Structure 1
Amino acid sequence: MYRFFIRRPVTSWMLMFSFILLGLYSYFNIPIDRLPNVDFPTVTISTTYNGADAQTVDAVVTRQIEDELATISGIEYIASSSYYGTSRISVVFSLEKDVDVAAQEVRDAVQRAYGRMPIGVDPPVVRKVDTSGVPVFVMLLHSKTADYQTLAYYADKLIRRDVERIYGVGEVDLGGFRDNVLWVRINPEKLWARGLTPSDVAQVVQNNLLNSPAGSIYGTQRDYVLRLYGKPEKPEDLGLSSLPNGLQLRDVAKVYFGEDEKRGMARFMGEQAIVIVVYKQSNANTVQVVDAVKKKMEEWNKRLPAGMRLDYTFDASIFIKDSVRAAIEEIVMGSFLTAVVVYLFLGSLRVTFVPVFAIPVALLGTIFFLYIKGDSLNTFTLLAMAVAVGIVIDDAIVVLESIFRRAQEGLNPLEAAELGTRIVIFALLASTASLIVVFLPVLFLKGVIGKFFSGFVFTLIVAIAISYLVSLSFTPMATARLVGVSHENKFMRAYAKFEALFDKALLWSLRHKLFVIVISLVTAVLGFFLFQKTKKEFFPVVDEGRFLVRFETPIGSSFDFTEQKTREIEAILRRNPYVDRFGVAMGQGVAGRPDVNGGMGFVYLKSGKRPHMTVIMNQLRNEFSKLRDVRVSVESAPISLGLGRQTDVQYVVKGPYLEELQRIADAYMRDFGNRPGFKDVDTDLRLNEPQVRIIPDRQKLADLGIDVKAVSDTLQILFGKYKVGTYEVGSESYNAYIKADEDFIKEVENLKKVYVRAKNGNLVPLYDVVQIQQGPGYHVINRFNRQYSFTLYANLSGSKDLASALSEVESWLQANLPPGYSYERVGQAREFARSFQGFGFSVLVALLGVYMILASLFESYRLPFIVLLMVPLAAMGAFGLLSLTGTSLSVPSYFGIILLIGIIVRDAVLFIERILQLEKEGVSSREAILQARRERLRPILMTTLTVVAALLPVALGLTAGSEFRKPLAVAIIGGILSGLPLSLFLLPVLYEVFTILKKKTQREHRA
């Protein structure tokens, strides 16, 4: 192939330009996002059963659905929570499961379960979850002067509907929003004074909120469809409805159209607000969607009434733009530094252009393949490109240097190009194959990490393949026309002196083999020691300038009490000098909450010079810890629903009895609440809810002819927000509810004023037929894989290591869980264990693959072991630099170590392959080692230094989002810097030892 391109330069140029043009077109059209578009096969089921306590919801809703779900294959786990009036179930499937198939199977199972549920349970809502389930933009409509109804009208009827029409927008949800409803608020004392019950009122309202078909008239010339429009046009008209005793509804109840009960609210910087949360469609471009929404926001700010304004508390595009810009800057700077390294060795800008040209060709060509694959430019693919800068140039450097050496031996340019390429072609093939084989096992990693990093691996493999093509097409063609152009400079003269010194050092090493081997082993031991000291975590914390504040007041706290605590939290946020803006939401509907005793705040930090985000988060934790009667945690904002709540430690504890789980949860809070290295310690177990238990006296009910359902209906209508239909205003439909008036439902003592109707028609006091007890109840009942459960959480502080923290928690659980109780890792802790187990397997498979390639290349079973021995020694260098720079050992750094295998093997292959060539030509082993090292020294130094130069901007970590990219760069640089002397000195020593042992074995066989 290379001969064809050497003799057809125009064809070679056209091939290169095709990659560049296709890449440029793709760059301007490819989606830009933070994360790859990954479907997490997770399906959620939400069911409402108004008025039912957690135990009832668990028994008649949650368990019924779980029993049917158990028949579906491919489920990893089922997690459920039963609250007052609400059941929420998450079904998480294995990542190989098709999410659409999973969702349909869940719908079928839910439909079967719904048929067994009692009347009054709303149809369950089934939804599938994907990465678009994370909001891309959150804005708040706020005002100091406007009333809530005005804010709600603008947010719901105007702004939301306008935003929903934007291309790429998926859903738009409202937080802190209370819709209008038709209220029928009963005055119980008037009701019973007139001999009526709440059921009488409910029946009358239902009978009069009715639009229905009324048949047809079939005329001789025309047919007519009859429809009854029975719903009143005004609330007052419903009040005219007749009750059984001849009175009207308005005589015993207030009928009006107004806002729903205030069980949730939102504020922006202390002002009343409504949150508008924008989600994108799964394949939409986040940056384009957010830019369109922000443009719409600016338009609305010009049209809103005075004193009303839209502001945002979350903009996903900012971090994406900053990260993309930073990644491109790092790629450009890395490319420049790489070019400088090449220029210093080659001494000519024209010659330097030849290998450096591989960088834009490979990167733009890779973008083209990402585009046609349907992928995006995201955190992972851009990181791969930053790494590829130093790798894609290496093949071209090796070819160029080999051609120049042949030209120096007196060959004409075309002959030098052909011979120089032919000499290294098999070494290039082996090194390229080794780099690709190293990453192939990563494609089979299970879990979230495997899904996210598949784009990283694809990008690197394509870039490496294109660079190999460039090195065998454009590089020999261009080099053949530039042979003899380079000029000697000071660096080249200094390098000539270095080469002479190196020859002496290598000879000394070959004469003192034991010393070299011992020094290498000591270095490895030191690296292993540093590895033990290196902090380990799942992902490094990235300073995005935003984070979450979750808070919760004691179970049973009123809305007003929780709102008071919310204002105290807001005051602390307002005092912090680094907080730019914040919004808070509390009560029902916030992050799926069915209760009012908690909420969440979204905090945006000021740009410019300030402490790292984690420092500010710790400052706020200290301030929040001084608040009483409220538990506050400060957490990083989630990057994906695939990882769940963003805490370092997450375990599910399962068992048969809730009371025992409560004891375990209390012990965990007590033992870890103030333990050094742990913060934001929490559990989701909430059992002790103030509850009034109403226990029927069966004998008295039977004597009076009253059934339990009559008691239940009476209580649900008065206290439970009983739905009786819908009410239309123009083209809008609103729910209609019956409930006792606000004063009546505030006091438990008013249960003494409740009556039920006996069989003879008389009203009987409720107290005569039931026992009423006050005591603790269940606020929420959690289940995991159909067992009672709770989840424990914690974040880590200081230098606390994730691996040791997980071990510490697991040791505690093993010591404190009684027989019949067990635990499982979930969330980030689950992925941490799964990913690093997968990494270990990937490394072993990668080493096996590399061994097979080297064995085929060298035609030897033993020789590859010499090359592979360099890998663990170089890895120790990676661990050492990670430790010395204070960089954690995390998922990115592990990927750096995997990539390091290919880089180290590449340099070793260049050396060993040339030795074998020379030995075949009759050169002695010692002379072959010295000559091969002399010939390969410059390309190995150049390829090593270009990788370091390319990754240096990334390793310095000076740009947005660099916390994620830095560990990978540091690991590779550390491994290369330790691997370079190993490759230069230890490898020749080991090869000579191998040769001596081989000859000794051959002599013994001959003897």
Structure 2
Amino acid sequence: MIPAIIDFSLKNRLFVLLIAIGLFGWGVYAVQENPIDAIPDLSENQVIVFTEWMGRSPQVIEDQITYPLVSNLQGIPQVKDIRASSMFGMSFVYIIFDDETDIYWARTRVLERLNYAQRLLPEGITPTLGPDGTGVGHVFWYTLDAGKMDLGEQRALQDWYIKLALQTVPGVAEVASFGGFEKQYQLVIDPLKLQFYNLSLMDVMNKVKANNNDVGGRKFEMSDMAYIIRGLGYVKNKQDLENIAIANNKGIPVRVKDIGTVQMGGDLRLGIFDENGEGEAVGGIVVMRYGENADKVIAAVKTKMEEVERGLPEGVKFNIAYDRSSLIEAAIYTIKVKLLEEIIVVCIIVIIFLMHWRSALSIILQIPITIALSFLLLNAFGISSNIMSLTGIALAIGVIVDNGIIMSENAYRRLSEWQNNPKHQKS
């Protein structure tokens, strides 16, 4: 078969040349479409299930949340392993799928099982799926430079403005907030007053929850006009919470302010985020979606941050804490330079040793065509352009050149034998 291919190629040189040019153009397009990252993604194909039940001990979390979830998530198709960990107030379950499994198909199957398993969990507990990112998906970190704003206001700005804007960037799976204080209304209850009014903490919790809500009514028509009746009950300030009625004592309403005090404060923190030893800071971590181009995602995030920064309060701006694009660009630039240097050196050596421009040209042209075609395979197998893959291509240049030299030398030897054959000399 190989002699037939060689014979066909020699008789149809223009056709072979057009195919080579077409494949080279396709390879150049593949180079532009190939995802770029600094390091290869070797993380496992996993789906994370996160469940929160604050205030419970790790043993309670293990018995009532983690164990029921793990036992019911077993049996999902293409699952390789299931791991879990329980800690104070939180449960994490890691479902590891086979490498060839589509991540979004896997997430769908896990969600189906969670809908069934939730009936086994305590009332009001809802497990959620983690972001569709990987172990190397943390591509960008930023902090807020807002010296005149306290940590609670910075965290509110991050959670309710910046985070929501950055999550709209294509390729971003999640923007995780860190640092500062999460604002909340805190009710400090006096136990002696609870005892005096014969109330329990559950009574207070239920009444506050019931009163912090809007209620719907019906449509009321009067004078050919229709009015929608509804009750406004959402809490807007501390005074609204203080005036919520908890019970009735001899015809006199017992309000929240009668049994305790209401204050603005921060949620419980198990740690702080310190920036370069200069004090606490508030910021976010941008998590890239599975299989995205890290360089393009980071560029899009930076463009969005420029738009968001125009709407920030005066004196507030972004500080970049970690930017993988600088590592990506440095790594890709280094590999490109080394590739170019290697190609030039190889070309010079080929020309010097062969001393025949047509043979040298045929070998030299193989290098860019083969490199371009290699990106077709990278895209086909879902491999990004990173230090490992580009280094492999650089090392393969020597094999490409060796193959060309061997073929040229073999062709010259065959031609020499043919010319020195007496039969051919007579003819």
Q: 1:135 Cα deviation (Å)? A: 0.8
User: Which of 62, 65, 72 lines up with 2:66 in the alignment?
Assistant: 62
Structure 1: distance between partners of 2:109 and 2:405? 56
Matched residue type, 2:215: S
Which of the pair has more CA radius of gyration? Answer: 1
Structure 2: distance between partners of 1:97 and 1:27? 25
The answer to whether 1:167 aligns with 2:174 is no
- The CA RMSD measured in Å over matched residues stands at 3.4
User: Which of 309, 331, 341 lines up with 1:333 in the alignment?
Assistant: 341
Matched residue type, 1:287: D
The aligned residue for residue 20 of structure 2 is: 16
The answer to whether 1:405 aligns with 2:413 is yes
User: Which of 247, 250, 253 lines up with 2:260 in the alignment?
Assistant: 253
Q: Return 5+ residue gaps in structure 1 as ranges.
A: 417-1007
With over 3 angstroms needed to count, the CA separation of the structure-2 counterparts of 1:7 and 1:295, relative to structure 1, is: same
Structure 1: distance between partners of 2:43 and 2:272? 32
Structural mapping, 1:899-978, within 5 Å? none
Structure 1: distance between partners of 2:98 and 2:27? 35
Structure 2: distance between partners of 1:297 and 1:216? 45
With over 3 angstroms needed to count, the CA separation of the structure-2 counterparts of 1:337 and 1:117, relative to structure 1, is: same
Structure 2: distance between partners of 1:80 and 1:133? 20
Q: 1:352 Cα deviation (Å)? A: 1.7
Q: 1:29 Cα deviation (Å)? A: 3.4
Matched residue type, 2:151: Y
With over 3 angstroms needed to count, the CA separation of the structure-2 counterparts of 1:104 and 1:308, relative to structure 1, is: closer
With over 3 angstroms needed to count, the CA separation of the structure-2 counterparts of 1:101 and 1:27, relative to structure 1, is: closer
The aligned residue for residue 318 of structure 1 is: 326
Amino-acid identity (%): 24
Q: Given that residues 42 and 130 in structure 1 are in contact (C-alpha distance below 8 angstroms), is that contact kept between their aligned partners in structure 2?
A: no
The aligned residue for residue 294 of structure 2 is: 286
Q: 1:37 Cα deviation (Å)? A: 6.9
Structural mapping, 1:264-663, within 5 Å? 264-269=271-276, 270-297=278-305, 308-371=316-379, 375-409=383-417, 411=419
CA deviation digits over 1:272-313, x for unaligned, max 9? 211311122324321122123334446666876676442223
With over 3 angstroms needed to count, the CA separation of the structure-2 counterparts of 1:410 and 1:45, relative to structure 1, is: closer
CA deviation digits over 1:584-643, x for unaligned, max 9? xxxxxxxxxxxxxxxxxxxxxxxxxxxxxxxxxxxxxxxxxxxxxxxxxxxxxxxxxxxx
Structure 2: distance between partners of 1:218 and 1:294? 53
With over 3 angstroms needed to count, the CA separation of the structure-2 counterparts of 1:80 and 1:367, relative to structure 1, is: closer
With over 3 angstroms needed to count, the CA separation of the structure-2 counterparts of 1:12 and 1:201, relative to structure 1, is: closer
SS of equivalent to 2:138? coil
Structure 2: distance between partners of 1:11 and 1:107? 53
User: Which of 31, 35, 54 lines up with 1:31 in the alignment?
Assistant: 35
Structure 2: distance between partners of 1:150 and 1:233? 16
Structure 2: distance between partners of 1:94 and 1:374? 15
CA deviation digits over 1:100-146, x for unaligned, max 9? 44434433433333323333x52111336543762111111144443
Matched residue type, 2:36: I
The aligned residue for residue 553 of structure 1 is: none
Q: 1:344 Cα deviation (Å)? A: 3.3
Of 35-44 and 188-197, more deviation after overlay is shown by 35-44
Structure 2: distance between partners of 1:93 and 1:376? 21
With over 3 angstroms needed to count, the CA separation of the structure-2 counterparts of 1:86 and 1:345, relative to structure 1, is: same
Q: 1:97 Cα deviation (Å)? A: 4.4
The aligned residue for residue 110 of structure 1 is: 114
The answer to whether 1:230 aligns with 2:238 is no
Structure 2: distance between partners of 1:345 and 1:75? 56
CA deviation digits over 1:889-923, x for unaligned, max 9? xxxxxxxxxxxxxxxxxxxxxxxxxxxxxxxxxxx
SS of equivalent to 1:89? strand
With over 3 angstroms needed to count, the CA separation of the structure-2 counterparts of 1:160 and 1:216, relative to structure 1, is: same
With over 3 angstroms needed to count, the CA separation of the structure-2 counterparts of 1:37 and 1:256, relative to structure 1, is: same
With over 3 angstroms needed to count, the CA separation of the structure-2 counterparts of 1:283 and 1:344, relative to structure 1, is: same
Q: 1:389 Cα deviation (Å)? A: 0.8
Give the alignment's TM-score, normalised by structure 2: 0.83
Structure 1: distance between partners of 2:133 and 2:400? 34
With over 3 angstroms needed to count, the CA separation of the structure-2 counterparts of 1:229 and 1:108, relative to structure 1, is: same
Q: Return 5+ residue gaps in structure 2 as ranges.
A: none
With over 3 angstroms needed to count, the CA separation of the structure-2 counterparts of 1:206 and 1:361, relative to structure 1, is: closer
Q: 1:374 Cα deviation (Å)? A: 5.9
With over 3 angstroms needed to count, the CA separation of the structure-2 counterparts of 1:82 and 1:383, relative to structure 1, is: same
The answer to whether 1:149 aligns with 2:157 is no
Q: 1:89 Cα deviation (Å)? A: 1.7
Q: Given that residues 143 and 271 in structure 1 are in contact (C-alpha distance below 8 angstroms), is that contact kept between their aligned partners in structure 2?
A: no
With over 3 angstroms needed to count, the CA separation of the structure-2 counterparts of 1:140 and 1:396, relative to structure 1, is: same
SS of equivalent to 2:272? strand
With over 3 angstroms needed to count, the CA separation of the structure-2 counterparts of 1:85 and 1:105, relative to structure 1, is: same
Q: 1:334 Cα deviation (Å)? A: 2.3
SS of equivalent to 1:376? coil
User: Which of 28, 47, 50 lines up with 1:46 in the alignment?
Assistant: 50
Q: How many residues align?
A: 412
Q: Given that residues 144 and 272 in structure 1 are in contact (C-alpha distance below 8 angstroms), is that contact kept between their aligned partners in structure 2?
A: no
Q: Given that residues 176 and 285 in structure 2 are in contact (C-alpha distance below 8 angstroms), is that contact kept between their aligned partners in structure 1?
A: yes
With over 3 angstroms needed to count, the CA separation of the structure-2 counterparts of 1:108 and 1:152, relative to structure 1, is: same
Q: Which has the higher helix share?
A: 1
SS of equivalent to 1:183? strand
CA deviation digits over 1:19-47, x for unaligned, max 9? 33232333233322245678844222222
CA deviation digits over 1:362-417, x for unaligned, max 9? 111232454566653233432331122112233322221122234444639xxx9x
The aligned residue for residue 85 of structure 2 is: 81
With over 3 angstroms needed to count, the CA separation of the structure-2 counterparts of 1:63 and 1:140, relative to structure 1, is: same
Give the alignment's TM-score, normalised by structure 1: 0.38
SS of equivalent to 1:405? helix
